[in-house]
Amino acid sequence: MIHYRSLFLSFIILIFSLFATSPVEVATKADMSSVEFGYPIKFLSKDLSGRDPPTFPRNVSIGTGSAHNLPTIYWGSLIANIIILVGLFEILFLIFSRLKKYFTRTHTQRTK
């Protein structure tokens, strides 16, 4: 059973990762056609080839581009990220709940 808090934290981390991996350095004009964002697996791509920066290498961020240039979401990578993060949080919650039970039981035994 997946806890909703794991899923919620995963989505928060993924949204934060879009901004944490930004800006991305592009070295050539060809690299501008597919700038990828996200962590741990890149799951969002933007085509910024319509922009013509004066020099390279150039740093571009997730907000770079126009409103008409919508990003491409790699759904497989997004789902893989969610699975990885939910699994990680579930393991951490399991470890902490077991530690809490252990220390609570140890503390109550000492006070008797």
d(CA 5, CA 16): 16
> What is this structure's pTM?
0.77
- Each of the 112 residues of the chain gets a pLDDT tens digit; together they read 778 888 899 999 999 988 888 888 888 888 888 889 888 899 999 888 887 778 888 888 887 776 677 889 999 999 999 999 999 999 999 999 999 888 888 766 666 5
pLDDT score, position 51: 78
Range of the domain at 45: 4-111
* Total number of domains constituting the chain: 1
DSSP structure class, residue 37: E
First CA to last CA distance, the chain: 35
Burial of 25: CB neighbours in 10 Å, binned 0-12, 13-18, 19+: exposed
pLDDT score, position 71: 87
- State the helix-helix crossing angle for 75-111 and 4-20, rounded to 10 degrees: 130
